Amino acid sequence: MLCQNRKTLMILERLKELYPDARCELEHTNTFELLISTILSAQSTDKMVNRITKKLFIDYKTPSDFLSLSQEELEGHIKEIGLYRNKAKNILLTCNKLLTDYNGEVPGTYDGLISLPGVGRKTANVVLSNGFGVPAIAVDTHVFRVSNRIGIAKSDKVLNVEKQLMKNIPKEMWSLAHHLLIWHGRRTCNARQPKCEHCTVTEFCEFYKKSIIHQSEDTYISKTN
């Protein structure tokens, strides 16, 4: 029987082969754009965020640029995105804090990031990892679901999943693992209908093993009825 660390590494190797280009899909050219995009991405798709920011970042590139907008004006720019009112409010508060406390720069520390309005643990980890190259595992809905399904983490609490992944994955692989699990969740291990027939980690996956057992039980029951 494989130990959990070894199993996790083998799964990540398979996912690396499947998604050699796995990376952050939020388009950005600097840490400020990454921060704004990540705040916008909560409960929205990266595709939608990229569509909005492609236009938004032409005229608004810095915290001062954003602060030239009223909340209503910013809402108008992002209204296609879910929770846009709250996000507009947080973005303006964050820009204000960046200017007041951080000289207009995005802080490169976890504590600095979570001090910003609208920035929680997941957003801070995304910015640290993709903007500053600091190893981090941001547990979003895909990472949470895929990790629990495969069995490389087992918890109904996001923080526990993050801790278990960090324990089983070498630090230098945290950021890559985060991308691989997200890409797998988006492209293969979908929430409603996972495409197990196209998956390359079925032999390790606890969800798959259970579903096969259920299928054989159902077949047995229907044959014996």
**Geometric angle at alpha carbon 65, from 60 and 69, rounded to 5°:** 95
In the residue annotation, 210 being an active-site residue is answered as no
Span near ligand SF4 by CB under 6 A; candidates 26-34, 86-94, 119-127, 194-202? 194-202
Contact 113, 7 (CB under 8 A): no
Site membership for ligand SF4, residue 83 (CB under 6 A): no
Contact 179, 153 (CB under 8 A): no
Site membership for ligand SF4, residue 14 (CB under 6 A): no
Residue environment code for 42-52, b if the CB has 16+ CB neighbours within 10 A, otherwise e: bebebeebbeb
- Residues 79, 140, 157, 209: which is the catalytic one? 140
Span near ligand SF4 by CB under 6 A; candidates 73-81, 156-164, 171-179, 201-209? 201-209
Span near ligand SF4 by CB under 6 A; candidates 14-22, 59-67, 116-124, 193-201? 193-201
Q: CB nearer to ligand SF4: give 84 or 204.
A: 204
In the residue annotation, 140 being an active-site residue is answered as yes
Quick check: helix, strand or coil at residue 192?
coil
Contact 10, 171 (CB under 8 A): no
Question: On the CB side of 151, how many CA atoms lie within 13 Å of its CA?
Answer: 16
Residues 149, 152, 164, 165: which binds ligand SF4 (CB under 6 A)? 149
Contacting residues toward ligand SF4, per CB under 6 A: 149-150, 188-189, 194-196, 199, 201-202, 205, 207-208
